[in-house]
Amino acid sequence: MITWFITGCSTGLGRALAAAVLARGDNAVITARSIDSIADLADAHPGTALPLALDVTDHDQVATAVRSAEERFGAVDVLVNNAGYGYRAAIEEGDERDVQTLFATNVFGPVALIKAVLPGMRSRRSGTIVNVSSIGARISPPGSGYYSATKAALEGITGSLRKELQPLGITAVSIEPGGFRTDFAGRSLTQSAEAIDDYADTAGKRRKEHDIAHGTQPGDPAKAAQAIITVVDSQDAPELLLLGTDALAAMGSVLDRQRAEIDAWKDLSASTDLDA
């Protein structure tokens, strides 16, 4: 039996993963900003679930939560950094305080959790860190520049972390979901207070009042949860796992476009070396 520590379990992918992990008999530290939102999961699994209130932007609370997990179960074997939210704004529209809070939640919160669990994982020479990113990190849609930047940052951290931890028997994985039938594009989505008319046909089309994607996403959170469990159980977990046919298609388009652009400009790129 392994112990999972999962953030953002109140709804969506985090809740689906917590339910799946507990259903198969693993221990799970399930966290949310409001503990009431996960009480039913904990009540259904009193011996294996530890519900904790956790705001990942509060690093003292992060440290306390990890200590509580280790005191209850002895170790954290798998950390899943799932907590996060979306923010829609053209770059010019973005409010500085909103953006700071976004990065505090989507980047610095996960980093604080990683740093809190790593001493135990290093001492055991085992463990898995799963960071939930987004296909947005690759496609950078208009209106999602700040959100995409948080996920690109998290992926950059994960890539370096993976290389640092591999010799120690620990692995790190980025998960890139496409659109899933969750509250992400509904209740969990925020946006700038200001909307500039010049961006109406780009970022403006993706503001909440104009976005019709919520409730039509193709992804099944329960299936995504099982995919993450499969990766964690694997002896050869990938550095990056895409989730959803839409994510696969989007990634293929991005790679094709990038390769074509690199090839088109390769002579100029190569011209900047010092002369022999």
How many Cβ atoms from other residues are within 10 Å of residue 158's Cβ? 22
Residue carrying structure tokens 């689906």: 16
115, 217 contact by CB (below 8 A): no
Spatial contact of 15 and 41, defined as CB atoms under 8 Å apart = yes
Write down the catalytic residue from 134, 144, 146, 147. 147
Beta bridge mates, 176: 242
CB atoms within 10 A of CB 231: 17
Per annotation, catalytic residue among 87, 134, 146, 151:
151
Q: Tell me the CA distances in angstroms from 17 to 29, 45, 99, 229, 271, one per residue in order.
A: 11, 14, 28, 8, 50
DSSP-derived pairing of the beta strands 78-81 and 3-6: parallel
Q: Any catalytic annotation for residue 133? A: yes
Catalytic residue among 10, 133, 148, 174: 133
Q: Are 143 and 202 in contact (CB under 8 A)?
A: yes
175 residue type, one letter: I
- Give the length of the chain: 276
Three-class SS of residue 53?
A: strand
CB atoms within 10 A of CB 112: 20
- State the catalytic residues: 133, 147, 151
